Each structure stands twice: as structure tokens, then as C-alpha cells.
Amino acid sequence: MTSSEKHPTGQIAFVLKGYPRLSETFIAQEIHSLLGLGLDIAIYSLRHPTDTSTHAVNDEITASASYLPEYLHKEPLRVFKGLWASLRKPGFSACLAIWWKDLKRDRSRSRIRRFGQALVLAAELPANTSSIHAHFLHTPASVARYAAQLLTLPWTCSAHAKDIWTSPEWELREKLADCQWLTTCTAFNTEYLAGLSDKPNVSLNYHGLDLNRFPPAPIRNTHHDGSSEDDAVTLLSVGRAVPKKGYFALLNALATLPGELHWSFTHIGGGDLLTELKDHARTLRIDNRCHWLGAQPQQRVLQHYREADLFVLNSKIEDNGDRDGLPNVIVEAQSQSLVVLSTNISGIPELIENGVNGVLVEQLDTETLSTALSRLIVNPDLRAEMGRAGSHKVRTEFDKDVNIQQLYEQFISMPGPL
């Protein structure tokens, strides 16, 4: 049967936490690809965008984007209309019972806000909506779940990192029991979530990379070894300035590198900790070697991958459980034959094989991180060898077209309204 014969008869509502976001290229890439396969998608965002620029892929997305009330008190009429319309929905009583049960265990403004957003979503979805899909298992999935219950529609979810590991187990179990299926982006996540579900509805689906947007890098200068200013090694990291990225410890490791080594460090990404990180670099007296570029569009990031000698991401697990899954920036860096130095947590070892296509160290081990940095800085041939291996692995195992096809098949096999 051809794909056009198997398309869902209705529209799929994608519920996102924010859209568009520079830090969520993988979501934009997924939507763009699914639209290309013929799915009818409409985007509903819980928040308005805050980034000042977008990726090229966002500009190519033809799906409509609507914004739910970010704060209920700012759009009371819209919320009231949603409530009034929902009172007549077939699933209102059941939805109210589910939400009330959730609220008793999570007495927060966020829980009230999600219910209000769900009321608006259910009232404003077009009649041809066939299902609701949430990206992230925490707040977007709550809105999707409540709205789906109101409308007696099936709902599905893509889970990633923080949404899994900072959510209480009771909430994960109940959402897994309620959703049609859930997909997540690492085997590490898959094993954990499958263990919480009473039905076989959890699957692994790596984000993959659009290799058309990340063609092989031109041959890079592999001779930089840090022995002089002319041979200074460029270190690159791409990631939000948030605790789980481990940037304070990375700066500490950079400060302990041998004084005779010549290097510079470039960071790309936004985040609340940027000012503190810059201050910390000054305290360590390495601020003249650190360059903070803020959030950048994908094409600018790609250029920096191609100009750098070494990519480093010092991910760690926070006290509240928050952690990276398999950061997409690592896949992107590897696609450009750029060797990666990271930590052996979560799904990172699913891509990086220590000593083969990159180097992994224990989280929170600043001394080992510094030693690994020194070793890679002075060994350009080793960096080149691992970089080539990384590019080969990405191009053979992380092509997004394979993974998108799997996701597409899951969507087109969805049942109609419950």
C-alpha cells in the first residue's frame, strides 16, 4: 500500500512546550519530515517564542502554529470559552476526575495552568483532528492527555530527557497507561519507561540527522597540536547554559591545562547561567581564551563544527534527576568528523564508543576531564582518526530518514477517535 493510501484521515495536533526554539532543532526536523511524507499536522505551543532568530528548517515548515494561553489570567475570556465549550464535551467528567486526582498530588499553579490550556485546546481544535501528539512527557503531555480525554481522542507522546527524569513515577505510570504509544530517543530511556508501562507501547526512535543539511565536512586542518599560537586548538561546545551541561566543571578543567598548551574555547547556546559562567572564566583567568556566542541558527553552528578541532560536552546528572539523553549536538559534531569528548551517562555511550569514535569520562571527574583534554589537544592524528570513525557511524546508523519512517508508520497505524 502506498503512503498516500495509508495517511490518517484527519489532522494530528502536535503540542509543544515552545515553538520555534533554536535548542529544539530535532522537533522542527521531525515535523518537517513528517509533513513531507504527507501527514497533516497543526502545531499548538504552550509558550510564545523567545529566540530572536530561527533555523532554516523552521522557515520551511508549512504547518499552522497556534499559541495556547501562556498565563490563564492574561486571556480569561478565551479560557472561559474553553471551559464553557468543554462542559458539553463527552469526556468532561472523566477528564475532570483525572485532573483532580493529579492536582491533589501536585498542588501547583502549573497543574491548574495545564488544565486551562487543555480546555482551550479542546475547544479550538478543528473537527477533523484525529489524534493529539505531545513532545515531552511532562507539561505538554499533561495538556495533550486532558484535551484528548475531553474529546475522546487517542494521544501519543515523544519523551526526551528532563521530562522523563524529573517527573514523579506515579505520573509517568499513569500517562503510559493512558497514551496510545510513546517513543523516546535513547535505549536508556526506553528500558526505563518500558519498565513502568503495563503494556508494550514504548519504542526507541533516535532523532537521527538530516544528512542533506549536514553534508560531509571539507577536509580540515588536522595539524593543530597546541604547541604555539599558530597551532592553537579550538575547543567547541554547543548547549544551553544550564546545570546539567556541566560547564562550570569544564571551565575548571580548562583552567588546569598545562600552561604551555595553546587553546581557545567557544560556547554556543543561550541559558540562564551564561553571566555566571563568564564571571567564573574571569575568576579562573581564562576569560581571554573563552568566547561566548549565545544561541545561533543551524548554519552558523555548522560552520563552527567545521572550524573546530575538538567538541566537548561535560554532561552530568543533576540532584533532581535531570540529565541529557543523547544530545543532538553530539550527533551533529560527529557528522562533521569532529571528535567528541563527553561523559558516559544516559544515552551518550549509544553513539560514542570510548577510544573508537570519541572519548568518554566519568561525570564530575574534573581531573580525568582535564587529562583527556590535554591528550586530545596534543594528538591531532588521534583526533582525526576518531573524527572519521564518528562521521562513519552517524552516516550509517543515525540517518533521520530511517527513524522518521518508523515514526511515520506509528502515526498512520493510529486508530480513530476512542
Residue 352 has pLDDT above 60, yes or no: yes
pLDDT at 48: 94
Question: Are the C-beta atoms of 333 and 302 separated by less than 8 Å?
Answer: no
Percent of the chain scored above 90 by pLDDT?
A: 88
- Domain 3-208+399-412 CATH superfamily: Glycogen Phosphorylase B; (3.40.50.2000)
Question: Are the C-beta atoms of 172 and 164 separated by less than 8 Å?
Answer: yes
Residue 8 has pLDDT above 80, yes or no: no
- The CATH code of the domain at 229-397 is 3.40.50.2000
**Residues ≥6 apart with Cβ < 8 Å to 1:** none
Cα 329 to Cα 259: distance, rounded to the nearest angstrom:
29
Whole-structure pTM value: 0.86
pLDDT at 18: 95
Cα 214 to Cα 92: distance, rounded to the nearest angstrom:
47
pLDDT at 313: 98
- Cross-strand partners of 157: 134, 182
Average pLDDT of the segment spanning 334-361: 97
Residue 1 has pLDDT above 80, yes or no: no
Complete DSSP assignment for 32-93: HHHHHTT--EEEEESS----S---HHHHH--S-EEE--SSGGGSHHHHHHHHHHHTTSTTHH
> Which amino acid makes up residue 31?
I
- The torsion of the CA quartet 355, 358, 362, 365, rounded to 10 degrees, works out to 110
Complete DSSP assignment for 204-217: E----B-TTTSPPP
Label residue 335 left, alpha or beta by phi (over 0 means left) and psi (-120 to 50 means alpha).
alpha
Under DSSP, the state recorded for 220 is P
- 3-state secondary structure at position 386: helix
Average pLDDT of the segment spanning 179-201: 96
Residue 271 has pLDDT above 90, yes or no: yes
pLDDT at 416: 58
Average pLDDT of the segment spanning 31-58: 92
Average pLDDT of the segment spanning 346-352: 96
Domain locations along the chain: 3-208+399-412, 229-397
| Number of neighbouring beta carbons within 10 Å of residue 394 | 24
Using alpha carbons only, give the angle 225, 383, 352 rounded to the nearest 5 degrees.
145
